[in-house]
Amino acid sequence: MKIWLNGKIVPEEEAKVSVFDHGLLYGDGVFEGIRSYNSRIFKLDEHLERFYKSARAIMLKISLSLKELEEAIIKTLRANNLKDAYIRVVTTRGVGDLGLDPVKCPSPTIFIIASKIQFYPRELYGKGLRLVTVPTRRSDIESLNPAIKSLNYLNNILAKIEATNSGALEALMLNRDGYVVECSGDNIFMVKNGTLLTPPISVGTLEGITRNVVIDLAQSFKINCLEPLLTRYDLYNSDEIFLTGTAAEIIPVTELDGRSIKDGKVGPFTKRLMLGFKELVNQEGKEYAL
């Protein structure tokens, strides 16, 4: 595998950062996950816009222009001869000392990884995923706003650990008021009486790129979509549940906290949106040649 690191393509064994990099020491940095399908980078503009917004929110100046970063991503894909890939773009505060002061980090570190990913076992896309609600609450927007895709992902990792300890692959997370927010790595949707529902951004939900794609798809299919406050009671009594994310795409959920969702099978709205999403990713995106 070849990695783009601070302007150079290097073998992965040479892709190294300093132990004094504040991304390592303090999780001081931001990242973005992007997908390419058949030599098309899906929603590249939207992903890079969010990447720059995250960096701006923590006062981290990205050392590349948007166009330069786009070219670096394509260069990384070509170096690895990848038509279908998961792309991870990361920038850190850079090398500093053992103190917190970001002023002592003069040069940000930036790297790009392009590889394959299989977030969930393929068979779960046909039969559905099991979810559990975990004790760890989603970070409060007044503490560390989840809108920032920060390298400090410990909140999500703790939730993932709790899900794993309960025998589930994904965790449902609530906010401090007990409202449904999202999962450790995915946004969540439910269907009730033909209406698509998903938690609003205001409760601490990440404005996921795939989340927005699904909302647009639903509208194109004349499916009404709302963003109300949701509780676990609402999810327990839903007709369908599914998760969305760049890595996960759209994956159905058929069990939550030991309760079957409806009849425990993947529902028609989920199936329709999964098919529509698959068609979309093969039609849209920034094209590149290997």
**Integer Rg of the chain from CA:** 19
Rounded Cα distance, 255 and 242, in Å: 10
Identify residue 245 by its one-letter amino acid code.
Answer: G
DSSP codes, 238-267: -SEEEEEETTTEEEEEEEETTEESTTSS--
Q: What are the residue numbers of the active site?
A: 149
| Cα dihedral 258, 262, 266, 269 in deg (nearest 10) | -130
Other Cβ atoms less than 10 A from the Cβ of 140: the count is 14
Q: Assign 201 to helix, strand or coil.
A: helix
| Displacement of CA 263 from its chain's centroid (Å) | 29
Alpha-carbon torsion angle 57, 58, 62, 65, nearest 10: 10
Distances (CA, A) of 149 to 34, 56, 155, 179, 251: 13, 11, 12, 21, 22
Count CB atoms within 10 A of the CB of residue 287: 11
